[in-house]
Amino acid sequence: MPDALKLANDLDTVLAKPFHQLGVQGARQIVDLMRPRDHTPVHSVENFSVTGRHGDIPIRLYRPTSHSDLPAIIYFHGGGWTLGTLDGVDECCRKLANDSSCAVVSVDYRRAPENKFPLPHDDCYEAVLWVRDHGSDKGLDGNTIAVAGDSAGGNLAIGVCLRARDENGPQIRLQALAYPAFDVPSEYPSFREYSDGPVLTAQDCTWFLDNYLSGPDDLDNPYAIPAAAETLAGLPSALVITAEVDPLRDSAEQYVDRLTADGVVAELHRYPGVFHSFFTEVGTLTAADEAVSEMAHLIGKTLLQ
Q: What is the pLDDT of residue 93?
A: 98
Q: What is the pLDDT of residue 33?
A: 81
Which of the four pLDDT bands, split at 50, 70 and 90, describes residue 23?
Answer: very high
Query: Alpha-carbon distance 298 to 303, whole Å?
Result: 9
- Among candidate residues 124, 166, 119, 117, the one with its CA nearest the CA of residue 145: 124
Query: Alpha-carbon distance 129 to 150, whole Å?
Result: 20
214-263 pLDDT, tens digit per residue, is 999 999 999 999 999 999 999 999 999 999 999 999 999 999 999 999 99
Q: Which residues are catalytic?
A: 151, 246, 276
What average pLDDT does this structure show over 205-222? 98
Which of the four pLDDT bands, split at 50, 70 and 90, describes residue 9?
Answer: low
Residues 77, 83, 87: CA angle, nearest 5 degrees: 55
Which of the four pLDDT bands, split at 50, 70 and 90, describes residue 305?
Answer: confident
Q: Where are the domains of the chain?
A: 2-304
In the predicted model, what is the mean pLDDT of the chain? Answer: 95
Q: Which DSSP category does 168 fall into?
A: T
> How far out from the chain centre does Cα 140 lie?
21
Integer CA distances (angstroms), 149 to 48, 124, 202, 277, in order: 20, 11, 21, 11
Query: Alpha-carbon distance 172 to 154, whole Å?
Result: 14
58 DSSP β-pair partners: 49
What average pLDDT does this structure show over 267-284? 96
- Among candidate residues 237, 217, 242, the one with its CA nearest the CA of residue 228: 217
User: Packing angle between helix 19-34 and helix 2-14, nearest 10 degrees?
Assistant: 110
Q: 262: number of CA atoms within 13 Å, CB side? A: 19
Residue of 177 and 284 predicted with greater confidence? 177
Fold category of 2-304 in CATH:
Rossmann fold (3.40.50)
Residues 213, 74, 67: CA angle, nearest 5 degrees: 165
51 DSSP β-pair partners: 56
Q: What is the pLDDT of residue 1?
A: 56
What average pLDDT does this structure show over 184-206? 95
**Residue 104, pLDDT above cutoff 90:** yes
Query: Could you tell me the pTM of the whole model?
Result: 0.96
Q: Which DSSP category does 79 fall into?
A: S
